[in-house]
Amino acid sequence: MLNETHHPRLTSWVATANEANSDFPIQNLPFGVFTDAGREDWRIGIAIGDQLVDVRAAIDNAVFAGAEWEALRGADLNAFLALGRPAWSRVRAQMSAALGAGSVAQETLTPCLHAQSEVRMRVPMRIGDYTDFYSSIHHATRIGQLFRPDNPLLPNYKWVPIAYHGRSSSIVVSGTVLYRPRGQVVAKGGTLPHVESSRRLDYELELGIVIGPGNTLGRSIPIGKADEHVFGLCLLNDWSARDIQAWEYQPLGPFLAKNFLTTISPWIVTLEALEPFRMHWSRPAGDPAPLAYLDLGAGADRAAIDIQLEVALRTTAMMEQDVPPAILSRSNFRDAYWSFAQMVAQHAMGGCNLVPGDLMGTGTLSGPEANQGGCLMELTQGGLHPIRLPNGEMRDYLADGDEVSLHAFCTGDGARRIGFGTCTGIVLPSH
């Protein structure tokens, strides 16, 4: 699965891509959609160091040609997502060669570069459907303990990848502000609902799974073919209003507590870029084996991905005092109970047709330790044990002015560091 694009000694003529701490070395080459400040001419870009390549301009300059490149002329990734893995891989290989140190394409490709700091980004694909899973058993267990101390994990959890369908129209790109949602809540000890702004606003540390070709309506996706339908991953923050959720979630699950906003990072890291970090997926001894359609078989040897995740918080006072963001928790995607391939197979097993640009959330990605919770509800045990920040402030849930930033990266022996950029949002008061 590895090829010349993954070689750790490969360097670029874009100098910042060669820095050890760069999120976007030449081994990464993630995809996004951008425009220049003050314009609405949206184009596809590929990140390299602190720059990005304007793909449309590169095609016009005759640096690249072919059907797969023509699919990248548009204002979103959907046409390219539909082409599938062979086309994705050819584009990656050609872009890697063009950006490599000593490339003859440097002179013609240089005018196609833009500083990432000087452009605007948006959600890079048209998202027809959004589904949020519940793949972390550590998160599911801790949340369950708050409501069912004697039986925190429901009996179906180890058998079926649980999910709900969300709202795609309110998915926004990193940097978009969040207005505190309003909804029905019931006061502690009360019985009658009233409407107010959420007082228990939370974040959720997740990854987003971006779907490629998809399947025909009525046909499932075999578990062994699931990888072929995943283009890549991004960071995802599924903001949640816990007080609204507590009143409305029975019997059909999340509604207004979740649909007001979901934030994703602007860059999609391809599955191919993550190949060096694939690892064995396994379950604890004694847990039931997955049913046949979810059984990874020999594919289990590379079904997990070693992606390190972290969430940081910066309050208004911290910004004014020039105090750096506080790291609230760290976790890793390798600890998820369900792999991304199993989520894809589950989604399509009943005949649901996935289409290019569909987005799946992994659900909150928490680690096995108590300090690895992927949301404040976990870390504070439902608000009972607030967190003390470095400047002395306390947080049980988010306050107006708080900035939440998600980060992710991969490191490993014999591989360059691969980063995901940042997924950030600031909480503002309700309208």
Please report the pLDDT score of residue 38 as a whole number: 80
List, for residues 15-41, the tens digit of each pLDDT value.
Answer: 999 999 999 999 999 999 999 988 889
The reply to whether 325 and 399 lie within a common domain is yes
Print burial letters for 265-299: b (CB count within 10 Å at least 16), e (below 16): bbbbbbbbbbbbbbeebeeeeeeeebeeebebeeb
Residue 362 has pLDDT above 90, yes or no: yes
Report, as an integer, the average pLDDT of 199-210. Answer: 98
Query: Do residues 415 and 324 make contact, with C-beta atoms less than 8 angstroms apart?
Result: no
Of 82, 104, 121, the position where a domain reaches its end is: 121
Tally of domains within the chain: 2
Q: What is the CATH number of the domain that holds 141?
A: 3.90.850.10
Residues contacting residue 242 through CB under 8 Å, at least 6 positions apart: 198, 200, 201, 202, 257, 377, 397
Annotated catalytic residue, options 6, 138, 139, 407: 139
**Residue 64 sits in the same domain as residue 99:** yes
- Which of residues 103, 121, 139 is at a domain's end? 121
- Do residue 349 and residue 423 come from a single domain? yes
Provide the residue range defining the domain that includes 172.
130-428
Q: What average pLDDT does the segment 288-304 reach?
A: 97
Is the model's pLDDT at 14 over the cut of 90?
yes
Q: Would you state the structure tokens that stand for residue 225, as one six-digit string?
A: 């073919």
Same structural domain, 31 and 79: yes
Is there a single domain that holds both residue 32 and residue 167?
no
Q: Tell whether the model's pLDDT for residue 1 goes beyond 90.
A: no
Task: Give residue-wise pLDDT tens across range 48-69.
Answer: 999 999 999 999 999 999 999 9
Which domain CATH number covers 75? 2.30.30.230
Average pLDDT over residues 310-331: 97
Greater model confidence, 91 or 252: 91
Q: Is 347 a residue of the active site?
A: no
d(CA 76, CA 95): 18
Residues 101 and 199 in one domain: no
- What is the secondary structure of 284-303 as a DSSP string? -TTSPPPPGGG--GGGGGG-
| pLDDT value at 131 more than 90 | yes
Confidence of residue 273 (pLDDT cuts 50, 70, 90): very high
Asked if 374 contacts 144 with a C-beta cutoff of 8 angstroms, the reply is no
Is the domain of 13 the same as that of 73? Answer: yes
Shared-domain flag, residues 219 and 109: no
Per-residue model confidence (pLDDT) at position 40: 86
Asked if residue 400 and residue 261 are part of one domain, the reply reads yes
C-alpha 83/C-alpha 179 separation (Å) is: 37
Would you state the pLDDT for residue 147?
Answer: 87
Question: Do residue 205 and residue 343 come from a single domain?
Answer: yes
Q: What percent of the chain has pLDDT over 70?
A: 100
Query: Tokens 């997924």 sit at which residue?
Result: 423
The pLDDT value given to residue 159: 98
- Our measurement of the distance from residue 23's CA atom to the centroid of its chain's CA atoms, rounded to an integer in Å, reads 15
What are the strands, taking DSSP E only, across 73-200? 113-115, 119-122, 130-133, 163-165, 171-173, 178-179, 182-185, 194-197
What does the pLDDT look like over 177-193, one tens digit per residue?
999 999 999 998 899 99
Say yes or no: 95 and 162 in one domain. no
Per-residue confidence (pLDDT) for residue 188, from 0 to 100: 87
Residues of the chain with pLDDT > 90, as a percent, come to 96
Q: What is the pLDDT of residues 371-418, one digit of tens each?
A: 999 999 999 999 999 999 999 999 999 999 999 999 999 999 999 999
Residue 431 pLDDT more than 90? no
Confidence of residue 427 (pLDDT cuts 50, 70, 90): very high
Domain end residue (candidates: 80, 103, 121): 121
**What amino acid is encoded at 17 in this protein?**
A
